């Protein structure tokens, strides 16, 4: 949600909760914190990618997963995913399937423990214009090609998550 103050869930490398901390402070440290990503597919088996808003502080105007969120204080991974898909795409009551839990380093001062979810949806997408420039469904084979030829067009986490999801070699460290 833009630059709103949020208390993030700080963990150790094994995902044991240690305490909660303001997002702005967390992103100035090397503390692990929790996050989620969602891959949304339609009935044509295409993946919905979002283009991050130009106002984002990290990786503006790059492709991102269908939904990406931080886990905030007193929230589970699943509840974060439900909140995130509502806030970012205006989708209520999704059927989410957990696909993976992994460790990630998204750059300096951005170490995370992440759960990846998958869902199918064919309804209207109404993206949050503060967070998302646009959304686009792309065929899996085209994404595989883009990952080879247009790496810089993807947020780093999205690049590695999609490689894992599409059975390509990735840097994902499964937990």
pLDDT of residue 4: 57
pLDDT of residue 40: 98
Domains of the chain: 34-101+111-167 (3.90.79.10)
Q: What global pTM score does this model have?
A: 0.91
| Positions of the chain with pLDDT lower than 50, given as ranges | 1-3
d(CA 63, CA 161): 12
| DSSP characters over 21-77 | EEHHHHTTS--EEEEEEEEEE-TT-PEEEEEEPTT-SSSTTSEE-SEEEEPBTT--H
Percent of the chain that is helix, strand, coil (3-state, to 5): 25, 35, 40
d(CA 86, CA 156): 24
pLDDT of residue 173: 86
């Amino acid at each position: 949600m833009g630059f709103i103050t949020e208390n993030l869930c700080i963990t150790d490398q094994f995902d044991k909760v240690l305490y909660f901390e303001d997002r702005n402070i967390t992103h100035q440290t090397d503390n692990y914190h929790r996050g989620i990503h969602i891959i949304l597919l339609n009935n044509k088996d295409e993946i919905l990618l979002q283009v991050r808003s130009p106002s984002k502080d990290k990786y503006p105007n790059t492709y991102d997963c269908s939904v990406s969120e931080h886990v905030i204080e007193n929230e589970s991974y699943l509840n974060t995913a439900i909140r995130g898909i509502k806030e970012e795409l205006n989708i209520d009551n999704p059927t989410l399937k957990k696909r993976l839990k992994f460790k990630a380093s998204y750059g300096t001062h951005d170490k995370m423990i992440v759960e990846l979810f998958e869902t199918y949806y064919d309804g209207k997408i109404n993206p949050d214009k503060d967070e998302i420039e646009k959304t686009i469904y792309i065929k899996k084979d085209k994404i595989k090609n883009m990952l080879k030829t247009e790496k810089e067009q993807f947020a780093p986490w999205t690049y590695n998550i999609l490689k894992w999801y599409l059975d390509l070699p990735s840097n994902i460290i499964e937990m």
